[in-house]
């Protein structure tokens, strides 16, 4: 039962993440990156406060647990959300979604480096293909009359690396700290950090409030804050607490599909033939990264 709930959590997490790229792009049409992040985490924090009012939780941590939470928070939300929104400001939702597909390969690579998990040859080939697919997109963008989004796409890759590190660390952290407690702390830290940064850099309270009078912007911020920030944090941490990190990361392909469709169908972004080739190469790489894992577990069970 717990495994099924974890799988549902992973699917829900992927769907919300897939749509979040589109909503971030919409908010960028109205306000700057730092204000968006500050308001996004304000709504996420309000959601946390509402949750705690309904279901009070003992939030005490010892020094070791607090250190773990602070390190996790550096990668998610701080590095992840900062690099994601800066990247989306300089690339398209479609390309960001395609690049997002390399996340499982990055997760396996990091697991081999930091957790000393062995990478099989076929997985190595898969990692190479996934990265080659991203490089191919950049080469095609830079040749011909296409938009060149190198900086934006590199920032998206940075956000993917930050998320992979976060998921690997969360897998270990949930053995000592409950998923909901980790979620509450990282949302609170994000709320404090991004709001302080906004006002330090020169943001005004008037602009902060006035921007929320635009209905499309307000609805996008609510989605990003409540569902895409607080919701996905809890869903992802719960999923990795019950399932292997690599299995959870495979669901990223669902997010990739939704992101690409939202960019092309809703935002009317250009979709070229090389996007299809790049996506196929990346997804083939992801399949190779995970096929060995699946076959090994299935053979062990027989």
Strand, helix or coil at 61? coil
Given this model, what pLDDT does residue 290 score?
Answer: 62
Place of tokens 């934006």: 152
| The pair of three-digit structure tokens given for residue 196, joined into one six-digit string | 């302080």
The whole-number pLDDT of residue 41 equals 97
Write out the H or E segment, with its range, that includes residue 154: helix 150-173
Owner of token pair 């577990």: 297
Determine the Cα–Cα distance for residues 7 and 9; give it in Å rounded to an integer.
5
Spatial separation of the C-alpha atoms in residues 152 and 140, rounded to whole Å: 15
Q: How far, in Å, CA of 246 to CA of 232, rounded?
A: 17
Q: Mind listing the pLDDT tens digit for each residue in 122-177?
A: 877 877 887 788 778 767 766 655 555 788 989 999 998 998 888 788 877 888 89
pLDDT the model gives residue 35:
97
Which of 169, 111, 156, 154 has the alpha carbon at shortest distance from 290?
111
116: left (phi over 0), alpha (psi -120 to 50) or beta: left
What local confidence, expressed as pLDDT, does residue 144 receive?
Answer: 56
pLDDT for 62: 93
Q: 290 and 101 in contact (C-beta within 8 Å)?
A: no
| pLDDT computed for residue 230 by the predictor | 87
pLDDT tens track, the chain, 302 positions: 777 788 888 888 888 988 999 999 999 999 999 999 999 999 999 999 999 999 999 999 999 999 999 999 999 999 999 999 999 999 888 888 888 777 777 877 777 777 666 667 887 787 788 778 877 876 776 665 555 578 898 999 999 899 888 878 887 788 889 888 998 999 999 999 999 999 999 899 999 999 999 999 999 999 999 999 888 888 888 887 887 766 666 666 677 778 888 988 889 888 888 888 888 887 787 777 666 444 444 444 43
The Cα–Cα gap between 81 and 127 comes to: 24
Separation of alpha carbons 241 and 244, rounded Å:
8
In sequence order, what are the residues at sequence separation of 6 or more whose Cβ sits closer than 8 angstroms to the Cβ of residue 288? 122, 123, 125, 126, 129
Closest CA to 80 of 2, 175, 183, 155: 155
């Amino acid at each position: 039962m717990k495994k099924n709930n974890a799988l549902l959590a992973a699917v829900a997490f992927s769907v919300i993440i897939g749509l979040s790229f589109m909503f971030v792009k919409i908010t960028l049409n109205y306000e700057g990156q730092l204000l968006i992040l500050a308001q996004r985490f304000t709504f996420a924090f309000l959601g946390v406060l509402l949750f705690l009012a309904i279901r009070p939780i003992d939030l005490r941590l010892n020094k070791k647990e607090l250190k773990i939470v602070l390190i996790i928070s550096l990668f998610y939300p701080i590095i992840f959300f900062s690099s994601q929104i800066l990247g989306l400001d300089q690339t398209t939702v479609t390309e960001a979604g395609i690049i997002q597909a390399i996340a499982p390969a990055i997760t396996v690579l990091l697991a081999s480096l930091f957790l000393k998990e062995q990478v099989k040859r076929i997985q190595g080939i898969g990692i190479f293909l996934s990265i080659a697919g991203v490089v191919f997109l950049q080469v095609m963008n830079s040749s011909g009359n296409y938009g060149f989004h190198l900086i934006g796409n590199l920032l998206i890759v940075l956000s993917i690396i930050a998320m992979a590190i976060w998921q690997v660390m969360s897998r270990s952290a949930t053995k000592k700290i409950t998923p909901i407690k980790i979620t509450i702390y990282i949302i609170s830290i994000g709320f404090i950090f991004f709001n302080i940064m906004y006002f330090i850099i020169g943001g005004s309270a008037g602009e902060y409030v006035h921007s929320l009078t635009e209905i499309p912007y307000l609805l996008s911020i609510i989605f990003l804050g409540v569902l895409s920030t607080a919701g996905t944090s809890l869903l992802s941490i719960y999923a990795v607490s019950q399932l292997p990190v690599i299995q959870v990361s495979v669901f990223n392909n669902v997010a990739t599909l939704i992101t690409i469709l939202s960019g092309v169908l809703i935002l009317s972004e250009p979709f070229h033939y090389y996007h299809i080739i790049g996506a196929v190469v990346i997804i083939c790489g992801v399949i190779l990264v995970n096929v060995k894992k699946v076959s090994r577990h299935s053979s062990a069970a027989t």
